[in-house]
Amino acid sequence: MTNPTGRRVTANISLTLDGRYNGPGGPGDLGAIVPYATTEVARDHLTRIWEGATTALLGRLNAEGFLGFWPTVAEDENADPRDRGYAKWLVDTEKVVLSTTLTEAPWERTRLVNGPAADVVTDLKTTGEGDILVNSSASIIKALLSADLLDRLYLMITPEIAGGGQRLFDDGLPASKWTLTHQETGELGEIAMVYDRVR
C-alpha cells in the first residue's frame, strides 16, 4: 500500500494489567485507569501523543465525552500546562468523528464520517501531513489493528487487574511485530510505553 504523504497512524489508550480499557461495570467503569491519568509520567505521555499529530480521529462516545471536559481545560489558566497544551491542541486541530448516529458535528473544526475506520484512515493518509491520532477510541483502534493500519501505539499500563470489562487485543488479530521506542515508569507503578510497528 502506498502512502505518498508519509503520514503515520498512531493510537493512544490506557490498559489494566489484564489488558482491559474499562472494568466489569461497562464503558464508564474506569476505576482502574483514572487514578493514574494525572501522574507526572501520564502527563508527559499525554504531551508525547499529540506533538506530531495534526488530525484527531475519535469515536462518537469519546468525541462527546471530550467535548464536555477538554475545552474548559484549554481555558483554565490554573490547569497543568501539559493538560492545557493537549486541550488546546484538541480544540484547535482537525477532528474526524466516526459515527453512524450523529447528524451534526459536536465541535468546531470537526467533520462527521459514517464509514469503516480502515477506509477513513486510508483516505486521510492520501492528503495532508502529520500524524493521525486515534485518541482512546478502542473500537477504532481495534478496527485498525485488524487491518494492520497502525504505525505507533502509545500505551499506558496501570498496575491493576480489572477482572472483567472490554479487552483491546481480541483473538483473531493479524500477527505483527513492534519495537519499543520509549518506556517510563511512574511512582504508582504505571508504565508509559511507545511501540512502533515493524514493517
pLDDT tens digit sequence for 95-138: 999 999 998 888 889 999 999 999 999 999 999 999 999 999 99
20: exposed, middle or buried (Cβ count in 10 Å: 0-12, 13-18, 19+):
buried
pLDDT tens digit sequence for 165-177: 999 999 999 999 9
pLDDT tier, 68 (very low <50, low <70, confident <90, very high otherwise): confident
For the whole model, what pTM was predicted?
A: 0.93
